[in-house]
Amino acid sequence: MRTPRLAETPDAPDLLLKHASILALDAKYEDAAEQLLALNRRMPGRPAILRRLVAVFEQLERRLSPVMRQHHAAGDKVFVDYSGKKVPIVDPATGVVREAEIFVAVLGASSLTYAEATWTQALPDWIGTHVRLFRFLGGVPRLVVPDNLKSGVHRASFYDPELNRSYAMMASHYGVGILPARPRRPRDKAKVEAGVRLAQTYILGRLRRQTFFSLAECNAAIATAAERINGHVMRRLGVSRRELFESIERPALRSLPTDDYEYAEWRFARVNLDYHVEAAGFLYSVPHALIREQVDVRLSSRTVEIFHRGQRVAAHERRHGGRRHGTDPAHMPSSHRRYAEWTPERFRRWARSIGPSTEGLVIAVLAHRPHPEQGFRSCLGILRLFRGLDPARAEAVSARAVAIGALTYKSVASILANNLDRAQRQPESAVVIDHPNVRGPRYFH
């Protein structure tokens, strides 16, 4: 049966009005559609009526949804996506085959194509591909147009797409805008879709007879194949993608920042009573005034940064072993900070400034305890007793305390209060032993 032309349909001009509303058209033709369906039920032998109706509205849809040919300015956009096809990689140690994803990026103006394999589409790999893409281009376009991949876009929306925070931070680092393709609008990403098809047919076609034993080996082969695509002369333009890129697109790219973006994870945390937050199994301090506050924690491979209401309040070197606590003394209350600064060597140095007997007393107090830390308070109290005291008097008190084993703050204070350091020590009287075998003085003459 010949498909009817739209112009042959009654009221066809109404359907082609420039500002015709689909809802209005539906309402206008609702009665006619119901009559046609009723007629078809009464006359089952005439399905051509429904076929004609479907054909007319399919033609209408094509006329009302034209495809816009997109023209891209140099340096304006790069389109990014993952290919649906994967490449197998063999573990040389176990022989287990693991499939790698194929990331593809295509520049809007020159169609220069970049591709690489990653193990996953997860956020670290997704952001890593962008970092390496920009390095490959030697610059940054104005916009990146991704598909609505969960790693990059938390919530797809035509009006307010919600970007993943790490992805947004990466974009901020490079000064590039993220413009997700409209949901369920494949024409928005036609450029990258064409690049994906090219990658699947040409790149994967060339790789299918090769066996790869590492991701690096696979990516070396992909880079070679992609460069062949970029070096191929396009019949329509008479130049290659690479030539077009070098002539019009590279000069239009923005400069790269000094350093590559370093991937980081974001987490929420609440400040504990000890003014530390937990991140990846370790504890990091924040200013003590933030106790019980909620903060954002940014973890990179080297640093841990903590933010409160958008302001960075702490930064630490990331810990991967050793002590669990990373504490900045500036974050501590003054009383805690003083206590944290107490060490055996500091007390000895403090006592040494008074004299050797005082240093000897401090050493004895610390050695008298099972753990030196248990003697810190006693040492602090003793040294405060000596504050403003004549050093010679402090030395005498210390010598007296060591001599009689008075190794507590209370006993040293008693010596000082009772002037026991000034008292003459009584010599011990000799005991005369009366024994028959004791020789008298005449025995020696």
Q: Using one digit for the tens of pLDDT, what is the confidence trace for 295-308? A: 999 998 889 999 99
Check pLDDT > 80 for residue 311. Answer: yes
Check pLDDT > 60 for residue 60. Answer: no
Q: Are residues 271 and 302 in the same domain?
A: yes
Phi/psi-derived region of residue 133, left when phi > 0, alpha when psi is between -120 and 50, beta in every other case: alpha
Question: Can you give 81-149 as a three-state secondary structure string?
Answer: EEEEEEEEEECCCCCCEEEEEEEEEEECCCCCEEEEEECCCCHHHHHHHHHHHHHHHCCECCEEEECCC
Q: Are residues 44 and 90 in the same domain?
A: no
Please work out, in degrees rounded to the nearest 5, the angle formed at the alpha carbon of residue 407 by the alpha carbons of 403 and 411: 95
Residue 70 falls inside a structural domain: no
Check pLDDT > 90 for residue 40. Answer: no
Residue at 125: amino acid letter: D
Q: What is the pLDDT of residues 190-225, one digit of tens each?
A: 555 676 677 667 888 788 788 999 999 999 999 999
**Which residues have a Cβ under 8 Å from the Cβ of 104 and sit 6 or more positions away?**
80, 81, 82, 83, 113, 114, 115, 192, 195, 196, 199
Q: Are residues 145 and 236 in the same domain?
A: yes
Check pLDDT > 50 for residue 52. Answer: yes
Residue 95 falls inside a structural domain: yes
Check pLDDT > 70 for residue 159. Answer: no
Q: Hey, how many other C-beta atoms are within 10 angstroms of the C-beta on 249?
A: 25
Question: Distances in Å between the alpha carbon of 216 and those of 42, 98, 211, 260, 351?
Answer: 68, 14, 13, 20, 62
Nearest to 113 by CA among 253, 237, 251, 232: 232
End-to-end CA distance of the chain: 158
Task: Calculate the CA dihedral of residues 311, 317, 319, 325 and round it to 10 degrees.
Answer: -70
Q: Are residues 221 and 135 in the same domain?
A: yes
Pairing, β 311-317 against β 303-308: antiparallel
Check pLDDT > 90 for residue 326. Answer: no
Q: Are residues 89 and 139 in the same domain?
A: yes
Structural domain of 215: 77-252
Q: Are residues 315 and 371 in the same domain?
A: no
Q: Are residues 132 and 92 in the same domain?
A: yes
**Strands lying side by side in the sheet with 282-285:** 276-279, 282-285, 325-326
Nearest to 163 by CA among 137, 126, 204, 132: 126
Q: Which residues pair with 276 in a beta bridge?
A: 285
Q: Are residues 230 and 280 in the same domain?
A: no
Looking at 323, 338, 353, which one is the last position of a domain?
338
**Tally of domains within the chain:** 4
Buried b (16+ CB within 10 A) or exposed e, 24-36: ebeeebeeeeeee
3-state SS, residue 272: coil
For 201, phi and psi rounded to 5 degrees? Answer: -80, -40
Q: Are residues 200 and 240 in the same domain?
A: yes
Looking at 252, 281, 305, which one is the last position of a domain?
252
Confidence at residue 174, expressed as pLDDT on a 0 to 100 scale: 95
- How does DSSP classify residue 325? E
Q: Are residues 393 and 376 in the same domain?
A: yes
Confidence at residue 431, expressed as pLDDT on a 0 to 100 scale: 47
DSSP string, 208-262: TT--BSSHHHHHHHHHHHHHHHHHSBPTTTSSBHHHHIIIIIGGGSBPPPSSPPP
State both tokens at 35.
Answer: 């009559």
Question: What confidence category does residue 374 fall into, taking pLDDT thresholds of 50, 70 and 90?
Answer: confident
Least confident range of 61-70, 394-403, 415-424: 61-70
Residue range 342-367: mean pLDDT, rounded: 90
Q: Are residues 109 and 246 in the same domain?
A: yes
Check pLDDT > 50 for residue 333. Answer: yes
Question: Distances in Å between the alpha carbon of 332 and those of 306, 312, 335?
Answer: 16, 17, 8
Specify the pTM: 0.55
Question: What confidence category does residue 183 fall into, taking pLDDT thresholds of 50, 70 and 90?
Answer: low
Q: Are residues 60 and 84 in the same domain?
A: no
Confidence at residue 370, expressed as pLDDT on a 0 to 100 scale: 74
3-state SS, residue 10: coil
Asked whether 100 and 222 are in contact (CB, 8 A), the reply is no
Question: What confidence category does residue 339 fall into, taking pLDDT thresholds of 50, 70 and 90?
Answer: low
